[in-house]
Structure 1
Amino acid sequence: MNRPYVKTQRLVTLFILGTVLFNYPLLALFNRPVLVGVFPLFFVYVFAAWALLIGLLVLVMESK
């Protein structure tokens, strides 16, 4: 299989994952008055999902 085609498929998959992670049902699930340490659960979820997507994007783009 052509290598750029695989990278394109992985980037599309990351886009779909990002869309699912930042869509209403999951955001509403974490929008509760709960603290994780000193931070609200919602902010912890948003920044963790954001960091996960950035990390996965780095892995896809840097892979040979």
Structure 2
Amino acid sequence: MHRPNIKAQRLTALFILGAALFNYPLLALFNRPDWVFGVPILYAYVFTAWLLLIALLALVIEKK
């Protein structure tokens, strides 16, 4: 019996998560004139989500 590649499935799930995080409805929630630690909240959200995706990708790719 052929076992599906779990790493490919996790990478696909991360792609879908990234597409959802950077899609219009979520970006519109953070597009306000507020500031977080001196940074506009939209920029803080985008860079935090980007950092989260990079960390999750590294975890999936490096895990044996």
Match of 1:6 in 2: 6
Match of 1:22 in 2: 22
Q: TM-score, normalised by structure 1?
A: 0.94
What whole-Å deviation, never above 9, does each CA across 1:3-58 have from its counterpart, x for those lacking one?
A: x7100000000000000000000000000000001100000000000000000000
Q: TM-score, normalised by structure 2?
A: 0.94
Q: Distance in 2 between matches of 1:33 and 1:55?
A: 28
Task: Quote the sequence identity (%).
Answer: 62
Segments of 5+ residues of structure 1 without an aligned counterpart are none
Match of 2:45 in 1: 45
How well do the aligned residues superpose, as a CA RMSD in angstroms? Answer: 1.3
Match of 1:36 in 2: 36
Greater helix share, structure number? 1
Aligned residues: 63
Runs of 4+ in 1 over 3 A off after TM superposition: none
